[in-house]
Structure 1
Amino acid sequence: MTHFFAHSGDPADLGTWQTLPDHLDQTAGLAAAAAQTAGLSRCAELAARFHDFGKYDPAFQRRLHGDPTPVDHSTAGASLLLDRAPAGPQRLVAEVLADAILGHHAGLPDTNGSDAARARRIGRFRQSDPVPADITAATQIDLAPAVAEIIGKIRPGDGFDLSVAGRMVFSCLVDADFRDTEAFYASLEGRDIPARDWAGLQDLLPALTGAFDTRMAGFGASDLNRLRSEVLRHIRAQAALAPGLFTLTVPTGGGKTLASLGFALDHAARHGHRRIIYAIPYTSIIDQTAATFKDLFAGLGDVVLEHHSAIEAEQPGAEGRDKARLAMEDWAAPVVVTTNVQLFESLFAARPGRARKLHNIAGSVIVLDEAQCLPRKLLLPALRMIEVLAHHYHCTVVLCTATQPAFDSAQLRQGGLPLAGRELAPNPETLAQDLRRARIVQGGPMTDSDLVAALGASHQAMVIVNSRRHALSLFEAARSEGIDGLIHLTTRQYPTHRRRILADIRDRLKDGAPCRLIATSLIEAGVDLDFPRGWRAEAGLDSIVQAAGRVNREGRRAIEDSTLTVFEAVDDPVGGEIAQLAKAMRAVARTRNDLLAPEAIRDWFDEVYWRVGPERLGQPMVDAFGLSRSGTDLPYRTTAEQFRMVEDRMVPVIVALEGAARAEVARLDVAEISSGKLARALQPFTVQIPAKDRDTLIRNGHADYRRADLRGDQFCVLQTPSLYRAESGLWWEGADYLGDDALQTFMS
């Protein structure tokens, strides 16, 4: 009898190799289990059973025995499903499953277009099917159970619904394939798979809720804390409401982060959700929120996953041991704290590593903290994805912010969400008045010299500008004037470093020490700082209001003395999107004297959202997914390229200046330690930079991939320590023409 293998073992002992039927059976079982919460078990099982059908190709078997000739093994199973499916619903399902199979190494394809699209790949394969005819003839396929599942996940003619179902199946397949491959090679090499079996949220809920209640009971009895407690009680009382979409509108300083967590815990206990996901726009808030949750649940074991650095570079077409070494995060933790970029770009991703986590989003309570930060150009596809998760995949989504955007379908007429009657907070209008602690004033044009003078005259104050470049130049100008207590905070600094800086700022503010902070918008949404006054460069009104929330946050000062001055940055004028948002802010300021009033915020969101029209809010990305009697048109790959929250692709560089970071980098040499575990450990020591700039650093010897032979292109480590400065973080500009000696002189 001829044996067909999926993965090779000891060349001298075929008994150590994994047979193809075993791999297909085991992957199918894992995929079906992963898809249960999404309600797509039969679909995922069927895709998994045929994902490696092309390994029956004799050429692939020769490859396992050492023939280096590349072999496409991902098309055969997709072609077989499409050949066996009659027109109608079965054909539709076959196309969705075929896309998952075609993409399980190279990524989800478009239906039409490039040479990598489904139509062209299937057309080329059918010209010379290499799978033995007797194996194909003996293979039985039953699409009916999968059809029943898919039909339940789409509304009539809704191609976007269908695309999300396809993404869920793809996620389950990729995750199952990875796990089975990892388990085989771990067993072959006599090593244990690193423990990462998270406890289930439902099992943990009594302990988590107990820890939460204990912490809330320990807050002081100030007027502000009493108001926060009333808000919390009201919000938690809404947990019995049916799962779905909610808004939570609480002004800055009203305790909305902890209130939303209390709601999420109670709501999950009532409705059986299996994890809580916090998505946050800025890494600085992730640092703070994850630290708050970890401290809150200390002593309860591994509960909170903090995921933002995206050390997940993949080798396209990775197979065998290479696949098992990829650092891919699956979000199986009971509580996940991540970025908007990670959440939404994963939901629209085509790449296997990023899409692997999607099935674990099903059945979650998702809190979109600072929901107003969703980018305008991607707004409608993002909102549509939120709606589908709530409608079809048992998700509850809370839009949590101090400045609730106009996402309601009554305001955002095309693509809005059904949010009427779903506000969790008690009377947001009254709360806005009760929690007011600062005022906004107009400062007019201000030069950098004006700002430096204003900082110098203020014992404690902050200046927020719109670009890292401006923040750094302003910091250097202020430092040249000898201003005491000067601090610069930037995303160029790695997370552990930023946490120390923020702790120092809080200590200075509390102790009355000099503290003059210059930063970008990374501090203005959710960062727990309390300055007496501040200056904010013109931007959107949502940013202005958030910045005002860092002034007199704890309400210890008179409102009249607690000012945020909005100014026109003469030396760094804004352009592009920020200029448009600032223009809308000025238009509202001409008709509303009080920019902190809920009416002003509503006017501004109306101005920047529904008046611009659906085309500029990303509606074409929603409409691109087609479903008709003639079949599907699912542009997965094109949409993944278009759905970019950050224009330049950002990639991580590890800054191993601290002992803890150096120790983790050294562990990259240990083959038995998984890349995923190391990626999580190194995440607090990474800085995200544009991909082209990282390439420049590598080309000039300032960074390199540590143990590329073992880890591939996943762990890029800074090799020139002088490129990192405590005051300004990682400096990558100029690395193309300056050597190490020149850099040290240039940066001194």
Structure 2
Amino acid sequence: MYYAHTTENANKSDWQTLKDHLESVAQISSGFADDFGSGRIAYAGGLLHDIGKYSGEFQNRLEGRRIRVDHSTAGAVEAKGLYNPSLSRILEYIIAGHHGGILNYGTPESGLECRIKNAVLHDYSAYKYEVEPPDLNSFNPTLVCSPTKPGFTISFYIRMLYSCLVDADSLDTERFANPEKSALRGKYESFESLFEKFENRMRDISLSCEDTPVNQSRNEIYQECRRKAELKPGIFTLSVPTGGGKTLSSMAFALLHLKKYDLKRIFYVIPYTSIIEQNAKVFREIFGSGNVLEHHSNYDPGKEGFEDVGDFNQEDMLKLSSENWDMPVVVTTNVQFFESLFSNKRSRCRKIHNLSGSVIILDEAQMLPTKYLKPCLSALSELVRNYGSTVVICTATQPKIGDFLDEDIQPVEIMESPKELYEHFRRVHVNNLGDISDEELSERITGHHQALCVVNTRKHARLLYQRITESEISKDDGSCFHLSAGMCPVHRREQLEKIRSLLKEGKPCRVISTQLIEAGVDVDFPFVYRARTGIDSIAQAAGRCNREGKRDLGEIFVFRSTEDYGKATSWQSRTAEIGEMIFREFEDPLSPEAVSEYFKKLYFNEGDEGLDKKKILLSLEKRVGECAFPFGDVSDDFRIIDENTKDIIIPFDDSARKAIKEIQKIGFPENYGRKLQGYSVSVYPHEFKALNESNALELIADRYYILTSESLYSEKTGLLRISSDEFNGALLIA
């Protein structure tokens, strides 16, 4: 008898047999891959993935002998002998990498080729008496290759099959080792039920809304999205001005489209966690907490106050679904979504097969990272072309993406007349202030009852805020607020609640912020100032002005700071230069024609290389004839977030301090680590070095750096900007 997994019982009566494990993984993996016509090859991968465990040496290891056994290469070697080179190569990748990640194909000296060529394996031939790999001679993947990027199509297919295998392997192992945990999966409602909930909520909203011109236009957008949901799956664009209600309208499209074409899930992909928290809350209120997964680095489901439902806990269920995105509605970030699609790691790849046959909504699509624009669009194209998914690209400032897509995958605009829609929702007038000092800028801001000013750097935001709060006019009367990424998320949320309350009550409110307030944060100011930057960012700032149309026109003032610390830097500088051109060429720099021209110039300025900075697409085409792909290199290269930063934890409130004490007490994070996710601030290496060398940080659980100096974190502006220069042993605050 051969076994896959053990229990504490020495008599082996309840150990999982290897045959049962292989057959179960094969069936689960095959079921996943059936969604894209590849159940047979996925079944073969499932049967072969652990055949190395048929060796006597591995069985001895299960019985307690401390020996190292390579059990994952055996299935890859066997596949090489069983199947034709094209199919065997696919299986080699997914089987050999089912624990450590998909390898680069590499060379005879390194990578997958080296591993198979030089494998030293124990005798595993006993597998032939228990399992029989399927005949794949007549199997051909039903792939439609990209006419310009066949290597991308094939490598993407390998990732999807890999996802099916590792998720199936994880699920079957969990079912054996932890049946109570496994039983929590899939405890969500049907889409029939969710559709009914959505219809009821929209009916209630319709009855409670005032019959204003803005609400009439929102309803027209909503109805148009419902009508276009009848169109066949593909890539769609949804060009709706800020305030047009695209969140609920795009969800209406997704639900009706899913219903008509029998799709499986809805993914809502958003650039910033601030928007995710807002939208996920809306969706939970409509569909119920147990049907919506909010998945990003700062999310703590424990803070939602979930209750036990019957014999299971919703919080535990959501934690499990974050592993493989098995949930009707998933709200996640650009980082989670795209880095998973380009990763070679088991944990990240595990979930991507569930994107097959789904509706994927990209909100604020202008925030797609320019240096990865072509790889991102290629991935979306593959999901549509070969995996039965529909993609909806939503934005108020629609980048012209059709030029970067293959001819067989071209977007369809959902709105009939985006230009007329823009004019109807036009609620702001854009003023060009030209050069302006902080002294004059602060006087202008304090001269308004309510105003928002968005600048390009943390330093500018902090110094401008300090100038205003120290002025004779304001005298720090509690009407001025600062927002930046130097404040931990919990701190920012508290400030935003105060801001919204003052705005609603009509009280004085002036906010100085970095660009984090621009994307989807629901605030409404009569006057907005924006430091010169790209047109897309100016349009986003304009979305915080006269948002509800309470005035004929709100006023946007675009300015160029004369302060050295107020100048745009690096990427912002390039987009600002192109923005300057648009201001010169168009009377209304936010019109659809102006925005289209802005993106045209931006993409032309970046060139082909700038839209695929790490040459990811090129690397996948170099050895496509050999099916030799650099999976590991691509995974390392595709990083939306600059990893050259470190997170430090701010003991901002009692909840944070309690979690820190618990971790210090038990010595490892356990569930407390998740509770700290809303209290982190990212710092650059020189800042981290300065903090660490001055004993302002404490490392706990070998993982979390805690800020121990209260004087370095302000309740007004967050973490003070510091340098590593020392004066009498003290940090210099810049």
TM-score (norm 2): 0.86
Match of 2:96 among 98, 102, 105: 102
Q: Which moved more, 1:32-41 or 1:361-370?
A: 32-41
Task: Give the distance between the partners of 2:633 and 2:12, measured in 1 at CA.
Answer: 42
Question: How far apart in 1 are the matches of 2:569 and 2:206?
Answer: 44
AA paired with 2:291? Answer: V
Post-superposition CA distance 1:287-307 (Å, at most 9, x none): 21112222233xx45121111
Choose which of 92, 102, 118 in structure 2 pairs with 1:124: 118
The question of 1:304 aligning with 2:295 is answered no
SS in 2 for 1:107: coil
2:560 corresponds, among 559, 567, 573, to 567
CA RMSD across the alignment: 3.7
Alignment of 1:147-296 (within 5 A): 147-148=139-140, 150-152=141-143, 154=145, 158-187=150-179, 194=184, 197-296=187-286
Q: List aligned pairs for 1:374-453, cutoff 5 A.
A: 374-409=368-403, 412=404, 418-419=409-410, 422-453=412-443
1:344 is displaced (CA, Å) by 0.8
The one-letter amino acid of 1:165's match is Y
Greater mean deviation of Cα atoms: 200-209 or 716-725: 716-725
Q: Distance in 2 between matches of 1:22 and 1:668?
A: 40
Of residues 30, 33, 36 in structure 2, which corresponds to 1:35?
A: 33
Looking at structure 1, the residues matched to 123 and 633 of structure 2 have their Cα atoms a distance apart, in angstroms, of 31
TM-score (norm 1): 0.85
Greater Cα shift, 194-203 or 116-125: 194-203
- Take 2:726 and 2:81, find their aligned partners in 1: how far apart are those partners? 57
Residue 687 of structure 1: how far off its partner (Å): 5.0
Match of 2:313 in 1: none
Pair 678,238 (structure 1): closer, same or farther in 2 beyond 3 Å: farther
Residue aligning to 2:346: 352
Shift of 1:530: 0.8
Equivalent position SS for 2:434: strand
Find out whether 1:727 has 2:726 as its counterpart: no
How big is each residue's C-alpha offset from its partner over 1:10-47, in whole Å with a ceiling of 9 and x where there is no partner? 26343343332222222222222333333332232222
The one-letter code matched in structure 1 to 2:513 is: A
1:248-647 maps to which residues of 2 (within 5 A)? 248-297=238-287, 300-309=288-297, 329-409=323-403, 412=404, 418-419=409-410, 422-481=412-471, 482-484=475-477, 485-559=479-553, 562-568=555-561, 570-572=563-565, 573-610=567-604, 612-618=606-612, 620-626=615-621, 630-647=625-642
Q: How many residues are treated as equivalent by the alignment?
A: 706
Tell me the amino acid that sits aligned with residue 173 of structure 2: T
Amino acid of the structure 2 residue aligned with 1:173: L
Unpaired runs of 5+ residues, structure 2, are: 301-318
Task: Report the residue type matching 1:47 in the other structure.
Answer: G
Cα deviation code 1:616-646 (max 9, x no counterpart): 2118322322487852022211112222212
* 1:460-484 superposed Cα distances (whole Å, 9 cap, x missing partner): 1111122334333433443444343
| Counterpart contact for 1:239–1:267, Cα < 8 Å | yes
Following superposition, the deviation at residue 670 of structure 1 comes to 13
Distance 1:103 1:607, change over 3 A: same
Q: Is the 8 A contact 1:32 1:40 kept in 2?
A: yes
Moved more, 169-178 or 206-215: 206-215
Q: Deviations over 1:517-545 (max 9, x none)?
A: 12222211222111111211221111111
Indicate conservation of the 8 Å contact 1:308/1:683, yes or no.
Answer: no
More divergent stretch after superposition (586-595 vs 242-251): 586-595
CA shift, 1:734, in A, is 6.9
The one-letter amino acid paired with 2:99 is H
Comparing 608-617 and 74-83, the one that deviates more: 608-617
Contact 2:77-2:92 at 8 Å conserved across structures: yes
1:416 to 1:570, Cα distance in 2 relative to 1, 3 A: farther
| Closer, same or farther: CA 360–595 of 1 in aligned 2, 3 Å | same
Aligned to 1:64: 62
Aligned partners of 1:158 and 1:627 also within 8 Å = no
CA–CA separation in structure 2 for the residues paired with 1:48 and 1:455: 64
Q: Give me the whole-angstrom Cα distance separating, in 1, the residues matched to 2:206 and 2:662.
A: 40
Moved more, 243-252 or 504-513: 504-513
Write the distance in 2 (CA, Å) between the matches of 1:568 and 1:546: 19
Consecutive unaligned residues in structure 1, runs of 5 or more: 313-324
Compared CA separation, residues 643 and 680, structure 1 to 2 (3 A): same
Please give the alpha-carbon distance, in whole angstroms, between the structure 1 residues aligned to 2:238 and 2:223.
13
Q: Which residue of the partner structure matches residue 315 of structure 1?
A: none
Q: Output the CA distance in 1 between the equivalents of 2:439 and 2:408.
A: 46
Distance 2:163 2:67 in 1: 29
- % same residue: 35
Kept after mapping to 2: 8 A contact 1:202/1:272 = no
CA contact (8 A) 2:37 2:142 kept: no
CA change 1:657–1:58 in 2 (3 A) is: farther
1:321 aligns with: none
Asked whether the 8 Å contact 1:76–1:129 carries over to 2, the reply is yes
Question: SS where residue 360 of structure 1 aligns?
Answer: helix
Deviation at 1:662, TM superposition (A): 6.9
Tell me the SS of whatever aligns to 1:502. Answer: helix
Q: Find the counterpart in structure 1 of residue 82 from structure 2.
A: 84
Greater RCO, 1 or 2 (C-alpha within 8 Å, sep 6+): 1
